[in-house]
């Protein structure tokens, strides 16, 4: 039996008794326009503020126009751009009003259909959004209010903290490259070890190290590292300071800047650890957490971020919908005899793709079944995949595993990972 498409399903929700409202979202003021099920505009455009008074005004207007058209249902469409849409969507949903989302790319492409003009305005976009909803070109709103909401916020927080961490580390590297380029020859990972971090706080420049001497540096390091510190490492650092080609101007300011950046880096690291603890606590509240954590190679943080991006796996009908959310659905550009290769659409959550990429790398390194599949995809005789392509397949397999185990409430079993066809392919290879 042929599966009903999303657009066909959406169109069935638009009946002659339906009024559609399109909203162009902004920070302070929104524009709304109404159309009936045929796309004929109802009344004039209305502007309302992005506050409670404005929300009450638009709800009253919705009720009035529905009565005017004897409509039984209202569907409100908006673009999920930025974060300003969430407050209005949440308010309307609590009032029992159906809110749907329209892809901003679709709005951009469709707004020329009526006036053959690429001009953009808030009033025009509101009407375009309403007509896209009328044509069924929308998708359902997902605003979790449970553990998945916590995971989504924690995921966003962790991503933000990591970006800040990388920025600090890059800045520190740039300063050290200028003032003490030999430092990383002694400490390969200068921002991970306690000894290195203590040195950067107390004596980050060659002149500081030479002033303290070997014993002085060793004394400072022991304040941060309780276990025995290798004198050899300290000796290497002193020798590097003696032969350093780093610049010798602005040293006082450079020392101050390094120390402040290290303090900030330590704060960010503490916040990351606390965020990951919160993720673990949130996962403990989920019944499916124990099943998903049984997947070899999937840890607490990676699972927390994955569920933070996807939400409840059980809200999807199948794993393909999860892959589409990530922009992992395949597209092809072909015409006549011209055939192009396929690629992923990337029309989805960018952060979800990043999370899946990191998970796939870990899976290939630690999960024997995924490693076997990865090697097969890259070396098969017909249509061998490149590294990144194979990792995408692994990512899609992870989504399938998450969906299946959550739905069946089963733990990971290696013997059930592949179907008969795939098992035969792997054995033949």
* Mean pLDDT of the region 18-44: 95
pLDDT at 81: 81
242 has pLDDT over 90: yes
1 has pLDDT over 60: no
343-400 residue pLDDT tens: 888 888 999 999 999 999 999 999 999 999 999 999 999 889 999 999 999 999 999 9
335 has pLDDT over 60: no
pLDDT at 265: 98
- Return the ∠ at Cα 212 (arms to 207 and 213), rounded to 5°: 95
pLDDT at 333: 57
Q: pTM for this structure?
A: 0.87
- Diameter of the chain measured on Cα atoms: 87
165-189 residue pLDDT tens: 999 999 999 999 999 999 999 999 9
pLDDT at 108: 87
How do strand 18-24 and strand 73-78 relate by DSSP bridges?
Answer: parallel
pLDDT at 111: 79
286-325 residue pLDDT tens: 999 999 999 999 999 999 999 999 999 999 999 999 999 9
pLDDT-above-70 percentage for the chain: 96
Q: For the chain, what is the mean pLDDT?
A: 92
* Mean pLDDT of the region 209-219: 94
pLDDT at 329: 86
118 has pLDDT over 60: yes
In the 3-class helix/strand/coil scheme, how is the chain assigned residue by residue?
A: CCCCCHHHHHHHCCCCCEEEEEEECCCCEEEEEEECCCCCEEEEEEEEECCHHHHHHHHHHHHHHHHHCCCCEEEEEECCCCCHHHHHHHHHHHCCCEEEECCHHHHHHHCCCCCCCCCCCHHHHHHHHHHHHHCCCCEECCCCCCHHHHHHHHHHHHHHHHHHHHHHHHHHHHHHHHHCCCHHHHCCCCCCCHHHHHHHHHCCCHHHHHHHHHHHHHHHHHCCCCCCCCHHHHHHHHHHHHCCCCCCCCHHHHHHHHHHHHHHHHHHHHHHHHHHHHHHHHHHCCCCHHHHCCCCCCCHHHHHHHHHHHCCHHHCCCHHHHHHHCCCCEEECCECCECCCEEECCCCCHHHHHHHHHHHHHHHHHCHHHHHHHHHHHHCCCCCCCHHHHHHHHHHHHHHHHHHHHHHCCCCCHHHCCCHHHHHHHHHC
pLDDT at 334: 55
246 has pLDDT over 90: yes
Q: Which residue has the tokens 């107390």?
A: 202
* Mean pLDDT of the region 181-201: 94
336 has pLDDT over 80: no
56-115 residue pLDDT tens: 999 999 999 999 999 999 999 999 988 899 999 999 999 999 999 999 988 888 877 777
pLDDT at 225: 83
């Amino acid at each position: 039996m042929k599966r009903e498409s999303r657009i066909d399903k959406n169109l069935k929700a638009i009946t002659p008794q339906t009024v559609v409202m399109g909203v162009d979202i902004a920070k302070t003021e929104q524009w709304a326009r109404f159309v009936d099920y045929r796309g004929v505009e109802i009344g004039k455009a209305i502007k309302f503020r992005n506050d409670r008074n404005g929300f009450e005004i638009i709800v009253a207007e919705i009720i009035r126009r529905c009565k005017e058209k004897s409509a039984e249902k209202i569907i409100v469409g908006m673009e999920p751009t930025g974060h300003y849409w969430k407050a209005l969507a949440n308010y309307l949903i609590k009032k029992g009003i159906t809110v749907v989302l329209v892809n901003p790319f679709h709005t951009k492409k469709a707004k020329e259909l009526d006036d053959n003009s690429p001009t953009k305005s808030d009033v025009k976009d509101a009407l375009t959004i309403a007509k896209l909803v009328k044509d069924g070109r929308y998708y359902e709103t997902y605003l979790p209010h449970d553990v998945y909401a916590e995971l989504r916020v924690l995921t966003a927080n962790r991503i933000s903290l990591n970006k800040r961490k990388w920025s600090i580390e890059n800045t520190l590297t740039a300063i050290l490259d200028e003032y003490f380029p030999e430092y990383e020859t002694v400490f390969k990972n200068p921002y991970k070890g306690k000894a290195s971090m203590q040195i950067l706080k107390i004596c980050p420049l060659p002149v500081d190290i030479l002033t303290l001497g070997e014993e002085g540096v060793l004394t400072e390091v022991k304040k941060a590292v309780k276990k025995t510190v290798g004198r050899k490492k300290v000796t290497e650092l002193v020798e590097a300071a003696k032969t350093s080609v780093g610049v010798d101007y602005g040293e006082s300011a450079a020392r101050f800047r390094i120390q402040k950046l290290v303090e900030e880096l330590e704060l960010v690291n503490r916040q990351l650890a606390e965020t990951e603890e919160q993720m673990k606590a949130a996962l403990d509240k989920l019944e499916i957490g124990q099943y998903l954590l049984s997947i070899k190679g999937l840890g607490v943080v990676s699972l927390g971020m994955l569920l933070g991006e996807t939400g409840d796996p059980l809200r999807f009908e199948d794993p393909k919908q999860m892959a589409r959310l990530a922009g992992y659905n395949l597209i092809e550009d072909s015409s006549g005899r011209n055939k192009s290769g396929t690629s992923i659409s990337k029309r989805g959550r960018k952060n979800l793709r990043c999370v899946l990429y990191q998970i796939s790398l870990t899976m290939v390194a630690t999960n024997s079944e995924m490693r076997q599949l990865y090697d097969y995809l890259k070396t098969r005789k017909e249509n061998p995949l490149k590294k990144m392509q194979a990792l995408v397949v692994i990512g899609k397999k992870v989504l399938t595993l998450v969906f299946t185990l959550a739905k069946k409430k089963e733990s990971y079993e290696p013997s059930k990972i592949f179907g008969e066809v795939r098992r035969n392919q792997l054995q033949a290879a």
